[in-house]
Amino acid sequence: MPNTKTPTQKMGVFQCPYFSRFSLCIQKECEKENYQAVFLQASHITNQVLKDYTKQLAFMGACGIVVCGFEEQSLASDTRRELSECRLPIVFIERTADCYGFDRVLVDSEMGTQMAAKYLLEKGHRHLLYISQSGKTKVENARLERLHRAVRGWKQEKFCSSFSLKEASDMVRRVLEEDKDITEILAGNDIYAIGAVMAVLEKGRRVPEEIEIIGYDDILAGNLSPALSSVKMPIEEMAAYALEIIIMKNTKRQKMVARTVTLEPKLVIRSSR
């Protein structure tokens, strides 16, 4: 528990590339409630990183921890024990593996993929390129499974090893050289979508008149020219619910059961052919 005489309370937040905007949103929410957000970053949030950072934040006197971007397929038993024994409220954001017993803020990201696929079908697209991240977590697997159910027989799937604009651009360029029938690119995030735009324009084709591109997260897509459609993640709501759970756990004296909040994404259409 934090020292009640301290004017601001510290809360630990793990940051990941998927939620570059999440840190700003959680910081704004913390400021409203007189909390101080302390950000610890890592290129990959693994079980070992999670254990190490939990110890560090507990030592710093944090009153709660938000884990954003946990990448492994499961929460190891020793990690689970470390998190339980630190006696801090811990909230996992979206990529939660099998983190049962801990508070979670989830997004039905498969719904986002389904909405995008339905939109493409209604627009008459019949040849899709889907770009996602390799080494897929359960979130990516769920998105891909939903895409498979919605789209049959007219797709290509390519996977990038990192959140690299260049890697995505190079990959899309190679695909377009081999398959000139592609009319739509669905990206797993806005970074890949931007890389796709670069490749399409480099090949002398127009966006969206010849190839329509849809991003995911809607962090950068609206700032491009032309602006891209994207699946908008409710990042502001995610941050607000995460802090609400931390505050509730710190103000209630009795032990509370783990809480799961599930939010929905939204397909934002900006430019279409």
pLDDT per position as a tens digit, 220-249: 999 988 899 999 999 999 999 999 999 999
* Per-residue pLDDT, 195: 95
pLDDT per position as a tens digit, 70-111: 888 889 999 999 999 998 999 999 877 788 889 999 999 889
* Per-residue pLDDT, 6: 36
pLDDT per position as a tens digit, 15-53: 444 667 889 899 999 999 999 999 888 878 899 999 999
Residue 272 has pLDDT above 90, yes or no: no
- Cβ neighbours for 213, distance < 8 A, ≥ 6 positions apart: 184, 185, 186, 187, 193, 196, 197, 200, 207, 228, 229
Residue 170 has pLDDT above 70, yes or no: yes
Compute the C-alpha angle 64/68/74, nearest 5°: 100
Residue 179 has pLDDT above 70, yes or no: yes
Q: By C-alpha distance, which of 173, 179, 220 is closest to 199?
A: 173
Q: By C-alpha distance, which of 120, 118, 112, 145 is closest to 265?
A: 112
User: Residue 84, Cβ neighbours under 10 Å: how many?
Assistant: 12
Mean pLDDT of 148-154: 79
* Per-residue pLDDT, 58: 92
* Per-residue pLDDT, 150: 83
Mean pLDDT of 254-272: 88
